[in-house]
Amino acid sequence: MNKAEKVQFIIDELEHLYSETPVPLDHTDAYTLLIAVLLSAQCTDIRVNIVTKDLFALADNPKDMASKTIQEIEDIVRPCGLAPRKAKAIHRLSEMLLEDHGGEVPASFEELEKFPGVGHKTASVVMAQSFGVPAFPVDTHIHRLAQLWGLTNGKNVDQTEKDLKRLFPRELWNKLHLQIIFYGREYCKARQCYGMICPICTSLYPNRTKKVEYSKS
């Protein structure tokens, strides 16, 4: 297959497997999604959903969250790891939402990335899933699979994002980023496939004989 054929095969296969793409992080609005994605750094979605059930019972909006102490927040989010940093970020960004945005999450990459604990990937998830703005958040699964599928050189996640945006139609970005994550978790797991086992890897590269060493950066 040439690259265009590979891209279409991937689109078709992922649509067949995952025609529905629910956001795996439990949330009710843009604010709770923002908090959940922030907590998901170096933590599983399953654990985040357990933690946010208690956190959002304590406070599920900027005003209530800002009224809590950082220690109260930290005590709840501790199972997610990096608790002191995440608790401070949640508290401060809640204050900033009240101070600068009337308590509403802004639909802007630039404004979102000003908040503590919110990088480009987190902002991209919120823009894509809460506001429907085309984005291609690249997590570790997507960065790895893009390399195994020959879609990027894997220098870094920024380059992977640029390459995927160039290859895939803009109107599919928001769905595809979830489909690839779902596929990576179910079929092409880290430290198992290495481009040799899963259906898409073996279909794209049927003659591959060596494990692919991919960049994690």
The predicted-structure confidence for 24-57, as pLDDT tens digits, reads as follows 999 999 999 999 999 999 999 999 999 999 999 9
So what's the architecture of 136-204 in CATH?
Orthogonal Bundle (1.10)
> Does residue 217 carry a pLDDT above 80?
no
Helix (H, G, I), strand (E, B) or coil at 36: helix
Domain 30-131, architecture per CATH: Orthogonal Bundle (1.10)
SS3 134: coil
The band of 18, judged by pLDDT with boundaries at 50, 70 and 90, is: very high
Give buried/exposed letters for 80-114 (b at 16+ CB in 10 A, else e). Answer: beebeebbebbbebbbbbbeeeeeebbeeeebbee
Query: Which residues are part of the catalytic machinery?
Result: 121, 139
The pTM for the full model equals: 0.94
Helices and strands in the chain: count of H runs, count of E runs: 12, 0
Residue 172 reports pLDDT greater than 80: yes
For residues 76 and 84, the answer to whether their CB atoms sit within 8 Å is no
Q: What is the pLDDT at residue 216?
A: 83
Find tokens 């870094």 and name the residue: 156
Separation in Å, CA 21 to CA 37, 41, 139, 211? 16, 21, 16, 30
Check residue 8 and give its pLDDT: 98
